[in-house]
Structure 1
Amino acid sequence: MTYLVGLIVGISIFWFGLSGHFDFPILHMGIGSIVFVIWFCHRLKILDVEASPYMLMPRALGYWVWLGGEIIKANMVVLKAALRVTPDIEPAMARVKTSCKSDLAKVTFANSITLTPGTVTIDLEGDELIVHGLYAADVAPGSFDEMDRRTSEAIDGKR
């Protein structure tokens, strides 16, 4: 039930925020489209944490702040590499194991790696990711442990 309420509130805020109209016909079309989406999600039986991740927001906000700091730090490393006259990069690929359980957490972890400059997630198979990095040290074993732990805590709620 909380997922249903979260989805209704989230879709309503999104629709009204994008529309900005409160005229009679447009308001009714908006309400009709919201009801249709909720009915469709219920019929497909996809009302869960992945369809309505709004309940994760308090935990996820802390993660996003931390990830923003990591992105800034990685930007500095990539900027230094780009400004050097002689490039000193040593590209490498590695398999990274994740402790994330849900698909949402795994995808969030993979996207977090890709958002961090200098690293790209190439593939996600089960609980392993294939990651490419500008520097071998960036994809060394254990280099993503903290990000994996934080993602798991934020999305799966595991501590």
Structure 2
Amino acid sequence: MYRLCIFLLLFGIWIIFSGQFDGFHITLGILSTAFITAISSNFFFENRSQGFGNRLQQIIRIPWYIVWMLYQIWLSNLHTLRLALSPNELPEVEPTLVRIKTNLKTDFGKWMLANSITLTPGTITIDIKDDELLIHSLSRLTTEGVEGDGMERRIAAIFERETKN
């Protein structure tokens, strides 16, 4: 049942993004979605003890995280563009390696955090070791953004909520 739900979720996303409804593309979507489900279904929603209500809440919260993340990417793009195009901003460029400790418990949560940081211009996650992430940051402002816990709190609220019994 679990793999069927993952398959249906991924296939629904595939249908939305492909926009193709002929036999060939539907078959291709089924095959590719089945393959992805087979190799990665254990990765999605690691804690299988959560009920349907919690899963539904996760699915509802994910789009809000995506919208917030797109806004953060936009802000960081503006900052990085300002650093790149303004000679007066050159002193602000301070490439730094910073280690941050995360309170996220699941590998999926840590993976989401690392990828969200890397998607944000001016920052790249270099390594994840246990509860620490090694991040390259372009400026003091991007370092402060990484060290803040806003992204981590949002990821924890979606993927690491306690199970309601």
Q: TM-score, normalised to structure 1's length? A: 0.73
Match of 1:139 in 2: 143
Q: 1:102 aligns with which of 106, 109, 112?
A: 106
- The RMSD of aligned alpha carbons is 3.6
C-alpha separation in 2, matches of 1:92 and 1:150: 25
C-alpha separation in 1, matches of 2:3 and 2:96: 44
Larger Rg over CA atoms? 1
CA contact (8 A) 2:10 2:33 kept: no
Match of 2:82 in 1: 80
Q: TM-score, normalised to structure 2's length? A: 0.71
C-alpha separation in 2, matches of 1:98 and 1:11: 28
- Alignment length, in residue pairs? 150
Unaligned runs of 5+ in 2: 49-54
1:35-91 Cα distance to aligned partner (Å, 9 max, x none): 9759956xx9838625x9x85321211111111111111111111101112522011
C-alpha separation in 1, matches of 2:133 and 2:69: 18
Change (3 A) 1:139 1:27: closer
Where do 4+ consecutive residues of structure 1 move more than 3 Å?
A: 15-19, 26-31, 33-41, 44-48
Change (3 A) 1:6 1:76: same
Match of 2:59 in 1: 57
Match of 2:21 in 1: 20
